[in-house]
Structure 1
Amino acid sequence: MTTFDPLFYPYSSQRNAVYARNGMVATSQPLAAQAGLDILKKGGNAVDAAIATAACLTVVEPTSNGIGGDAFALVWMKDELHGLNANGPAPQSISIDAVKQAGHEQMPTHGWTPVTVPGAPAAWQALSQRFGRLPLTEVLQPAIDYAEQGFPISPTLGYYWNIAYQRFSEVLEGEQYRGWFDTFAPQGRAPRIGEIWSSPGHAATLRSIAESGAESFYRGELAEQIDAHSRAHGGYLRKEDLASFKPEWVQPISVNYRGYDVWEIPPAGQGLIALMALNVLKGYTFTERDTVDTHHKQMEAMKLAFIDGLKYITQEDKMTIRAAQLLSDEYAEQRRQLIGDTALQPAPGEPPAGGTVYLATADDEGNMVSYIQSNYMGFGSGIVIPGTGIGLQNRGHSFSLDTTHDNRLEPGKKTYHTIIPGFLTKENRPVGPFGVMGGFMQPQGHVQVVMNMIDFGLNPQAALDAPRWQWLEGKVIEVEPSFPDHLAQSLMRKGHVIRRANSSGGFGRGQIIVRDEQNGVLIGGTESRTDGAIASW
């Protein structure tokens, strides 16, 4: 049962929450949301809708994700929450020594070196095979149609596409990047808002994935093409790395926050950071959102959680400090004791031993999905396999070349991962999926929207519309343009270094769906900071 007040709208100037009964899809692009809803209306369930939406987003929002990215999902199905990790490891042939011998003192941002095994196509197949109702060929058809026939560029998409083009024109040099420019700037520029863009190669790749159940991507013709391009341009990824990859079904991790269980995917994802912060914050009582004390404690808890996460989070079985230790009540109290009346300079503690798209779907049977996928840092590595539309992620950029760091680069290892889906339950019943995409903003967005709903009674749309902040480093906090000035001034007097951003572009893009168990009604919120949309019936 939810307790969010449907009439409380102090931050809903952009739009109102959406209410529906039979099904709902919330994501950052209207065409993708509608594609998911169409699948629901054809008899698909929430999982089918999530796959359709995710595949469609690789076409209609390529600035944030792609076929060559990673994915994670939390699925409520058959009275149980299931977690899916589809994040690929580093290639077997890469090493710290090899990268340093190639002239790098840190992992590069672009090119083949930071490319890890893509997990998204395998995620679609795994979800479809275990929980889907419709064949993958039918579920991926909307994405294929948009890639083949084209679609008009939406405003936020066009804005970020142009920024990416300008940046890539300056930093991407050489034959290895020709595929990106041929695919995403075929007229020698970024497509303009309202202009029709299509990608026949993208359509052919999606059709191949659908018909083969992703086998062609990992063990077939597409794998051969990826391998050949990597070899030709000094990359480390090989077809053997692709062939050996399988997504993992995992047990989600959680903390109980004021009677609600807040769920995240376990490491190497940074969802652990959101849970650590909430574990500290549950030791306080908050009565009002817009007070100096509320924001101060939130910021301090987030700094402490983040600094621990950056030190300890990596592939779970290689962490020197495990998630259970970091989430212990004893450690939360230890960290809570550090929070005083002024801003602190965060440092990692010692626990006791022991570029992204997000979407949410729900159907009329009670099934719900929290799903996220990304190429990382916008278009990712800048590598596109010619003629395929496969833009490869640069997730390996997160690896450290410091041999003493927990998240150091190793062959076959999975790196610290920024993309995280979230889910709320109460008394072992689903409340609903939530997420806020956007690099290191994500766990910070999770904490803020969860508290907006649970502590302050905001409905999903109001929870998303509320002004956000994000910790950057040390005592530095960046706030949105709409963040109240009197609070910013008061926080500065507490020692926080407050920077006001020029736009809301860096503060994440969220989606939320909650179900009211009393009447089965779905309540959805979508991001006003992008081309967000909710499709429902």
Structure 2
Amino acid sequence: MSGNFSRSQSTRKPGVTATSGGVVAAQHALAAEAGAQVLAAGGDAVDAAVAVSFAIGVLEPWMSGPMGGGAMMLWRADEKKPYALHYGMRSSTSLDVSHYPLSGAGKASDLFPWEAVVEDRNVTGASSIAVPGTVAGAAEAHRRFGKLPWRDLLQPAIAHAKAGMHVDWYAALIIASSARELAKDKDAAALFLEDGQWPKIFGWTALSDIRLDQSGHAATLERLAEAGAEDFYTGDIGAALIKDVTDKGGFLTAEDMASYRAEWQDPLHIPYNGANIWAVPTLTAGPTLAHAISHWQSAYTPSTVPDGTSFAAMAEAMRAAYEDRLTNMGDHESAKAPGCTTHFSIVDKDGNMVAMTQTLLSIFGSRTLSPSTGLMMNNGIMWFDPEQGKPNSLAPGKRCLMNVCPVIGEKGERRFALGASGGRKIMPAVGQISSFLLDYGMSMQDAIEAPRIDVSGGDTIVADERLSDDVTDALSARWSLATAKRMPFPYAFACPAGVLRDGSTNSGTTETFSPWGDGIAEVRD
């Protein structure tokens, strides 16, 4: 790169381009490959999304899975129309607020600086589990737009679960980072740890083939494939989940599961410098993105490359947008929290698109495993403020506020699907990458690899150390500024994945330093 992206050495991840087929970009290449194979078999982008959703829940079990929630944006090429689908988690109608008394011990230990609760009951363990939505979301999208049979779409995930997730250096690093919490649940410890305390990495070498025993997860997926998504909520799988959660001290009822519905919503339209961006409108970071973009697009005129003026305008707009979010929406996630979500983007040969984000919330969710199903459980209750009388206070039967921000964008013949993982870092990343694509005509690879800033709360702006002096000087003249490297773990910035359709050519890629992420093109015989 040139211009303001010139500092330090360059590390690149080759993107993928397809002139006659679709592309899948996901945080695990094997999950992306599963989606690409579905496209090659004649599947729609939505079919591929279902396959990727379940496969990545096996391959990256600390980020997402059937017990999670999320949201997606879709583009239907034949209608030239976007769709928004919300499938976030909710608190149980049986939840007892008195079970979460404040401890008086200061702030909580995880993502949110709430007042601490006795025994961290809203953060870890079964009492932190919320009603899941991911299966309902995948099933509803498939019901409306899918072409291939549901059971076929789960086969890649089943195969990966039967083989067991490979524990390489990156997996061992992630497991080690949460080993102390995983050890508190005997079932999670049995899956991820040796002797209840060490990651399953003893004797590891570059040639090792250490794998998790995910046979329980595989059996659940096989049942889900044959019985259909409704079994997860009203059948044998649902009954097993309810029993496991309640046996471990959580709140989950048959009524909670049977009444859960994914919700189609009118997409939030964000006009942008003669282009269009669409986002999910409620209980996501979509409204915060709209707030930020509406401010910064009027504050500068794009030049040939992003410069100090543009970055300063974006920083000011994102600070104002987050101040409004924290005040009025009740979301107070720590900007220093690690990424704990996954995102993938898909475009098929016809131009249909999906941007899908799913999460367990914290890394490894509640750090609790359902022994009957082999599934890691979410900790969605942590999204709520345990203090009463706040905008986002804990209550029964209440939807969770998420930071997910999948988007569809277009300008002329160029259209993209984009999103990221990374908590509150997601919105700033999605906003800046959208600007790079729309204002400067970058390729998806260049836009994702371009250095960014993170403005997601607190007094300090974090800037990629590769940014030029022009940019860092403009930022440091107004705000406290810190610089950071792009690294595999922990992420100082979000971890994006996007696909781009320019005319009839599709391309896609993921965060450069995502060790497992990649874009995979459809290959037809």
Where does residue 19 of structure 1 map in the other structure?
17
**CA spacing shift, 1:303–1:526, aligned 2, 3 Å:** same
Q: Partners in 1 of 2:174 and 2:474 — Cα distance? A: 34
For residues 114-193 of structure 1, what are the structure 2 equivalents within 5 Å?
Answer: 114-153=128-167, 155-165=169-179, 167-168=180-181, 173=184, 177-185=185-193, 188=196, 189-192=198-201
List per-residue Cα deviations over 1:307-333 (Å, max 9, x = no partner).
111222379xxxxxxxxxxxxxxxxxx
> Which of 282, 286, 308 is 1:292 aligned to?
308
Residues 56 and 146 in structure 1, CA contact (< 8 A), matched pair in contact too: yes
Cα distance, 1:391 vs structure 2? 0.9
C-alpha contact 1:36 1:49 (8 A) present in aligned 2: yes
Secondary structure, counterpart of 2:512 in structure 1: coil
**3-state SS of 1:81 partner:** strand
Give 1:425 deviation, angstroms.
2.8
Residue 260 of structure 2: which of 245, 251, 261 is its match?
245
Give 1:300 deviation, angstroms: 1.1
Instruction: Determine whether 1:507 maps to 2:493.
Output: yes
The percent identity for this pair of structures is 27
- The aligned counterpart of 1:386 is 371
Match of 1:455 among 432, 439, 444: 439
* Alpha-carbon shift at residue 482 of structure 1 (Å): 3.7
Letter in 2 for 1:294: S
1:370 and 2:355 matched: yes
1:488 is aligned to 2:472: yes
* CA distance 1:534–1:187, shift in 2 (3 Å): farther
Matched, 1:434 2:418: yes
Q: Secondary structure at the match of 1:162?
A: helix
| Code of the aligned partner of 1:57 | I
* 3-state secondary structure, aligned to 1:108: coil
Shift of 1:47: 0.8
For residues 90-489 of structure 1, what are the structure 2 equivalents within 5 Å?
Answer: 90-100=91-101, 105-106=116-117, 108-153=122-167, 155-165=169-179, 167-168=180-181, 173=184, 177-185=185-193, 188=196, 189-192=198-201, 195-197=209-211, 198-284=213-299, 285-287=301-303, 289-313=305-329, 355-426=340-411, 431-484=415-468, 487-489=471-473
Q: Matched residues in 2 for 1:71 and 1:495: separation? A: 33
Match of 2:51 in 1: 52
Deviates more, 1:223-232 or 1:526-535: 223-232
Aligned position for 1:328: none
Secondary structure of 1:217 counterpart: helix
Residue 506 of structure 1 deviates from its aligned partner by 3.3
Alpha carbons 1:314, 1:415 under 8 Å: kept: no
CA contact (8 A) 1:230 1:237 kept: yes
Q: Provide the rounded CA distance (Å) in 2 between the counterparts of 1:66 and 1:488.
A: 39
SS in 1 for 2:394: coil
Q: Are 2:70 and 2:89, in contact at CA under 8 Å, matched by a contact in 1? A: no
Q: 1:483 to 1:161 in 2, by over 3 A?
A: farther
Query: SS of the residue aligned with 1:435?
Result: strand
- More deviation, 90-99/67-76: 90-99
Pick closer, same or farther for the CA change 1:50–1:412 going to 2, 3 Å.
Answer: same
Residue number in structure 2 paired with 1:339: none
Distance in structure 2 (CA, Å) of the matches to 1:10 and 1:47: 38
Query: How far apart are the structure 1 equivalents of 2:470 and 2:325?
Result: 31
Asked if the contact 1:73/1:369 (under 8 Å) is kept, the reply is yes
With over 3 angstroms needed to count, the CA separation of the structure-2 counterparts of 1:179 and 1:282, relative to structure 1, is same
2:61 and 2:356 map into 1 onto residues whose CA distance is 16
- 1:508 is displaced (CA, Å) by 1.5
- Aligned AA (1:84): L
Rounded Cα–Cα distance in structure 2 between residues aligned with 1:290 and 1:513:
21
Q: Aligned AA for 1:431?
A: R
Distance 2:148 2:219 in 1: 20
Quote how far apart the aligned CAs of 1:22 are.
0.9
TM-aligned CA deviation for residue 88 of structure 1: 2.3
Q: Within 2, Cα distance between the matches of 1:458 and 1:187?
A: 50
Secondary structure class of the residue paired with 2:351: coil
Q: Which residue of 1 aligns with 2:521?
A: 536
Cα 1:186–1:137 shift into 2, 3 Å: farther
Separation in structure 2 between the aligned mates of residue 82 and residue 217 of structure 1, nearest angstrom: 25
The answer to whether the Cα contact below 8 Å between 1:286 and 1:455 also exists between their aligned partners in 2 is yes
Corresponding residue SS for 2:55: helix
Gap change, CA 1:117 and 1:314, over 3 Å in 2: farther
Look up the SS of the partner of 2:436 in the other structure: helix
In 2, Cα distance between the equivalents of 1:67 and 1:256? 34
- 1:472 CA drift (Å): 4.6
**Alignment root-mean-square deviation, CA:** 2.6
Q: Which runs of 4+ in 1 moved over 6 A?
A: 8-12, 101-104
Aligned 8 A contact 2:486 2:492 in 1: no
Task: Indicate the SS of the match to 1:473.
Answer: coil
1:230 is displaced (CA, Å) by 2.4
Give the stretch that moved more between structures: 188-197 or 156-165.
188-197
Give the counterpart letter for 1:506 in structure 2: A
Instruction: Give the letter aligned to residue 460 of structure 2.
Output: V
1:369–1:215: structure 2 CA closer, same or farther, 3 Å change rule?
Answer: same
What does residue range 28-39 of structure 1 map to in structure 2 within 5 Å?
28-39=27-38
Contact 1:121 1:209 in 2 (8 A): no
**Mapped partners of 2:472, 2:192: distance in 1:** 40
Superposed CA deviations along residues 475-528 of structure 1, whole A, max 9, x for unmatched, are: 2112334444664355323232425368462311111111112xx111222221
Write the letter of the residue equivalent to 1:381: S
Does the aligned pair in 2 maintain the 1:263–1:423 contact within 8 Å?
yes
Counterpart CA distance in 2 for 1:430 and 1:502 is 28
Whole-Å separation in 1 of the counterparts to 2:210 and 2:40: 27
Count of aligned pairs: 483
Moved more, 496-505 or 134-143: 496-505
Unaligned runs of 5+ in 1: 316-354
Q: Within 1, Cα distance between the matches of 2:471 and 2:295?
A: 22
- Does the residue aligned with 1:62 lie in a helix, a strand or coil? coil
Residue 45 of structure 1 and its aligned partner are, at CA, apart by: 1.3
Within 2, Cα distance between the matches of 1:34 and 1:9? 31
Deviates more, 1:147-156 or 1:47-56: 147-156
Distance 1:139 1:162, change over 3 A: same
Residue 331 of structure 1 is matched in structure 2 by: none
Q: Which residue of 2 aligns with 1:338?
A: none
